[in-house]
Amino acid sequence: MEFVNSAGFARQLDEQDELKIFSDEFLKPQHNGKEMIYLCGNSLGLQPKAVQLKLTRQLANWQNLGVEGWFQGDEPWLAYHQLLKPTLAGIMGAKPAEVTVMNSLTVNLHLLLVSFYKPKGKRYKILMEGGAFPSDQYAVESQVKFHGYNYKDAVIEVMPREGEHTLRTEDIVAQIEQHADELALVMFSGINYYTGQFFDLQAITAAAHQAGAYAGFDLAHAAGNVPLQLNAWGADFAAWCSYKYMNSGPGGISGIFVHEKHHANQEFDRFAGWWGYRNDTRFKMAPGFVPEVGAEGWQVSTSPILLMAAHKAALDIFERTGGVAALRQKAIRLTAYLEFLINDINQQAGEELFKIITPKNPDERGSQLSIICKQNGKQFFDALVKNGVLGDWREPNVIRLSPVPLYNSFTDVYAAARFLAEAVHQVQF
Ligand SMILES: *Cc1c(COP(=O)(O)O)cnc(C)c1O
């Protein structure tokens, strides 16, 4: 499609957008009495209006039923997580038994690493992307240390080539092959938080398995953002948070995936708790841990119902859109339009003031552009904020803008780029 840099063109795209009705289901932060242009869904997704209702309902159940709420009421808490699984499985490309919700993301990474990082003899290394999200680095660092190794030796980070910002799949695969007999695990993010690169998880999984290693993924920036097929790709495990593209609230409950091929194995090492115990006999309170079959066997603690209720409200919206696949076409177009507008600013300026480091290929990115400002980045970011455009800022010079198809419009994207273009004349060089 040929894009045009004009408000009228953006409006026209909005008029043709069948998904625009969903924007009304979200509460928009305000700036100077007007709705903010919120392009920060990669960090914290907006609040669905239905969240308050869902929470109020569970507060009422708590009020009216007390502890009986676990077994009574319209949505008994004991099985509440089951209500989330069908939609979540759809979003992750998984079977319902392969997913569940529990804890927070980094905690879940640790729990899954307990099961899937099993260093033995020469095979003790973890291969991951260079520049992974800090929490993932710390988790892996402490895990290898826990097993008696040190990070520098036990963790292999795949780095971009000289002069490049993102990784080539062929380089990732080559490194996996090169270290094949030392690898215990390949762990990647689905989408790198900094560059916005969407990795080829299928190719990475295949290469890891070829090397005799497990393949696990942190899907924080991928969940609810890009189509995933965890079951078909054969990934061993994954975890994600629900507060980014899944709009389930700050510190919202995390999700995990464990592939069905591992479900029959009751001998998996894991850090257990009673909420992972076989459902049918859990309340016999017998000694000796027996895991529930499937991802639920990794659960540890009592369900946080209020977090789950917020998650349910947010997942219901995905259910009504027809899942992530139905959002994808708009997502691709929205991001491409932003890319076009930013490149147009460079064109007008006669120099590359804003360098987009996120891959150009729509198959290698989601709803995010990471933009390196040639100079005065923070001033540009502040100029956007002053005009009610909220993206996010990463030191030393990167602005990340995330147009989310569920609640952002083409007019949002146009206005954000317009303010950026105006700032070019205002920022002091
Ligand atoms: C957002 C994010 C996290 C955050 O983890 P929490 O445990 O929820 O604080 C971790 N890893 C990645 C890759 C992320 O994008």
Q: In the prediction, which pLDDT does 1 show?
A: 81
Burial class (CB in 10 A: 0-12, 13-18, 19+), 100: buried
Q: In the prediction, which pLDDT does 286 show?
A: 87
DSSP string across 163-227: T-SS--HHHHHHHHHHTGGGEEEEEEESB-TTT-BB--HHHHHHHHHHTT-EEEEE-TTTTTTS-
Give the Å distance between the CA of 189 and the centre of ligand 1: 10
pLDDT-derived band at 428 (thresholds 50, 70, 90) equals low
- Ligand 1: residue of 40, 104, 105 to mutate (most ligand atoms within 8 A of CB) is 105
- Ligand 1: residue of 110, 138, 241, 307 to mutate (most ligand atoms within 8 A of CB) is 241
Give the Å distance between the CA of 190 and the centre of ligand 1: 12
- Which of 65-69, 178-182, 394-398 bottoms out in mean pLDDT, i.e. has the lowest? 394-398
Give the Å distance between the CA of 244 and the centre of ligand 1: 9
Give the Å distance between the CA of 239 and the centre of ligand 1: 10
- Ligand 1: residue of 106, 189, 253, 402 to mutate (most ligand atoms within 8 A of CB) is 106
Round to whole Å and give the CA distance between 233 and 352. Answer: 38
Domains and CATH numbers, the chain: 7-35+325-424 (3.90.1150.10), 54-321 (3.40.640.10)
Q: Is the pLDDT of residue 251 over 70?
A: yes
Round to whole Å and give the CA distance between 426 and 375. Answer: 13
Round to whole Å and give the CA distance between 250 and 144. Answer: 29
Q: Is the pLDDT of residue 254 over 80?
A: yes
Residues lining ligand 1, judged by CB closer than 6 Å?
104-106, 133, 135-136, 189, 193, 218, 220-221, 241
Average pLDDT over all residues of the chain: 97
Q: In the prediction, which pLDDT does 241 show?
A: 98
Give the Å distance between the CA of 277 and the centre of ligand 1: 27
Q: What atom of ligand 1 comes closest to residue 108's alpha carbon? A: 7
Q: What atom of ligand 1 comes closest to residue 132's alpha carbon? A: 13
Report the candidate in 351, 341, 321, 347 with the shortest Cα–Cα distance to residue 403: 341
Q: What atom of ligand 1 comes closest to residue 193's alpha carbon? A: 15
pLDDT-derived band at 429 (thresholds 50, 70, 90) equals low
- Ligand 1: residue of 141, 193, 254 to mutate (most ligand atoms within 8 A of CB) is 193
Q: What atom of ligand 1 comes closest to residue 107's alpha carbon? A: 7
pLDDT-derived band at 181 (thresholds 50, 70, 90) equals very high
Q: In the prediction, which pLDDT does 351 show?
A: 94
List, for residues 88-104, the tens digit of each pLDDT value: 999 999 999 999 999 99
Give the Å distance between the CA of 406 and the centre of ligand 1: 21
DSSP 8-state secondary structure symbol assigned to residue 74: S
Q: Whose CA is nearest to atom 15 of ligand 1?
A: 220
Q: In the prediction, which pLDDT does 330 show?
A: 97
Contact indicator for 95, 260 with CB cutoff of 8 Å: yes
Contact indicator for 126, 184 with CB cutoff of 8 Å: yes
Q: Whose CA is nearest to atom 1 of ligand 1?
A: 220
Q: What atom of ligand 1 comes closest to residue 189's alpha carbon? A: 13
Q: In the prediction, which pLDDT does 426 show?
A: 86
